[in-house]
Each structure stands twice: as C-alpha cells, then as structure tokens.
Amino acid sequence: MADSEPQRPCGRLAPSPTGYLHLGNARSFLLAWLQMRNMGGRIILRIEDLDTQRAAPNAAEQIVRDLRWLGLDWDNQLTSDYFQSNRFPLYQQALATLQERGLLYPCFCSRKELRSIASAPHGADGPIYPGTCRQLTHAQQQQRSQEKSPAFRFKVCPGTVVEQHDEVAGLQREELGQTTGDFIVARADGVVSYQLAVVVDDIAMGVTHVLRGDDLLGSAPRQILLHRTFGATPPSFAHVPLMLGDDGVRLAKRHGAVALRELRESGVAAQQLIGWLAWSCGMIDRPEPTTATELISEFSLRTIPREATRLDASALSFFASR
C-alpha cells in the first residue's frame, strides 16, 4: 500500500459463542462500533469459537440476533471464513513460521508440574513460566514427544519490554519476562492459543483498532509482540472498563436478567438499552432512549469512565420499570 494512502480504519466485534450476550458485552460492542463509525471505518464481525468444546449450539445466530437488535451492523458477510474454528490452517501456517525462525519450543510440563511452580511470582495469566522446557536438548525433546504431545511456547527474549499507549487505559509498559515468561501459542491438543489466533486474524483482516473489555488488557503486550514478530504494525488498543454486578463481580446469570435476550423478551426496547449504555459511558446526560446511529457523532473515547460500572439495584429497576 502506498504511503499516501493510509489504511482505512478497521475495527472488529469478536464475540465468543459461549453464552448469550449480556449488558457488559453490549456496551463494549456498542463502543467498538461507534469508534469505527465515528472514524468512517469498517467493522468486522468475527466469531471466536476456537474452543469448539465450549461453543454453545446456535450461539452465533443468537449473537447476530442480539447485535442486530441493538442496531449494530458490520461490513463483512458472516461466512465460514469469519469463524475461528474454520481458520486452523492459517494458524498452523503461523506456527510453522515461528517454528522455522526458532521462536518456539515444545513444553511437556503437566498441569500438576505447572501448579507446583505456582508458588513462583504470578503475572497476567497466572504463574510466570520459568522456562523449564527451554533447556531440553533435541534428543530429550524427541524422547519426551513419544510419551506425550507437547504444548508450544513462544520464546520471550530476556528484557523484552512492550510499551504502548492504550487509548483508554493510558500508557502501559510491561516486561514480559516479569509477567508471563515464555507463553503458550499452541496447546497440547493442537488448538492454538487465543493470543496467536487473534493476531493472525487481525493481521489477515486488516484490523487497525481494537476496542474491548479491560479484562483483556493483560493480553495486549503478548499480542503486540506477536504482531511485531510477524512484521505487522499492531493495532491501536482501547481497553474499556467492564460492567460488574452489584457485588463487584463480573456480570453473570446470578445478577438477574442481564442477558440481552431476557431484556428483549421482558419488553425492554433496544433504544432504552442503548440510551442507558450511552449514559453509563458519559455520552449523554440522561438515560433517554436513542439509537446507536444517533450516537455516532457523540462518540468520544474521552467520556468513557475509567472505572468499572456497577450494575446496582437502580440500574436493574430502570430496566424492570420499562
């Protein structure tokens, strides 16, 4: 692409089909959609069903229905190419590339062994891997492969620091050796890691902007490192605070009717919900009904609260009273 033609902004909605979308998902997707529409960019819908075991039947259709109900749209046809479960050959290619470059090694550690190092310092995703299997000789790798199939880890060079300016969370600086260590890119059962799959997909789909819940803030440095390893420019990241139940815990069924489907079936109109979500993000002064499209010009990353929103009794009664 010529320098004079900057890449058109492209964002993505990337739900996992593990259950129904709830208010928290809806808010993150609304914001991701608004960011792109405000910039005149494209938006892609991609179903992150890597873990096909956990995918609920028909969940993708339900997600599409929920997103349409919210008034969100996307610029791709949701063909099988946009389901991660159909993209394994691409991920295998990426693994082979890393392997050829000497950036991977097999890890034979069992869960139990990994747990026993759990007394070691913890990072973003649990204990920092101490590099046990990095030392194995080729002969030892061959021998152990006969007993069990290994996972594969990405070698993090000592001293690797990833610095990035998150558009909501601010400046982030992480030394990966102190937070994750060599991290898994393929599990022993052959399924690639979330980290690798999203990077491969974001590169292939031309994604330039990632706006998502801040539960994923800790995985951004590994993704940025992988982007750079593949010679790609990492997307700009914006990690937005989650919506929590009144007990301060991530939204779940026990917090009441928080699934979009339940709200819809209980008679809540999408405009009421959108208005409430926009108000919770400081885009409008009062939780009055509105549409996603009407909010496009109001969108700004600056109004997004820096702290999680608690879905307290007043919020729930707001919906119950409709």
Residue 60, C-beta contacts closer than 8 angstroms, at least 6 positions apart: 17, 47, 49, 78, 83
Q: Does 38 bind Zn ion (CB under 5 A)?
A: no
CB of 251 to Zn ion, least distance (A): 35
Q: Within 10 A of 70 (CB to CB), how many other CB atoms are there?
A: 22
| Alpha carbon distance 169, 214 (integer Å) | 8
CB of 91 to Zn ion, least distance (A): 21
Closer residue to Zn ion in complex, CB, 113/288: 113
Beta bridge partners of 173: 163
Closer residue to Zn ion in complex, CB, 90/114: 114
Q: Does 278 bind Zn ion (CB under 5 A)?
A: no
Q: Which stretch binds Zn ion (CB under 5 A): 1-9, 69-77, 132-140, 199-207?
A: 132-140
253 is catalytic: yes
Closer residue to Zn ion in complex, CB, 65/155: 155
Q: Which of 30, 44, 98, 133 binds Zn ion (CB under 5 A)?
A: 133
Inter-residue contact 68 to 36 (CB < 8 Å): no
Q: Which stretch binds Zn ion (CB under 5 A): 35-43, 106-114, 141-149, 214-222?
A: 106-114
- Which x/- pattern, by CB under 5 A, does the window 57-96 give for Zn ion? ----------------------------------------
Q: Which residue has the tokens 């046809």?
A: 77
Instruction: Count interface residues toward Zn ion (CB under 5 A).
Output: 4
Closer residue to Zn ion in complex, CB, 76/132: 132
Q: Does 132 bind Zn ion (CB under 5 A)?
A: yes
CB of 146 to Zn ion, least distance (A): 16
Binding site for Zn ion (CB under 5 A): 107, 109, 132-133
* Residues tagged active-site: 253
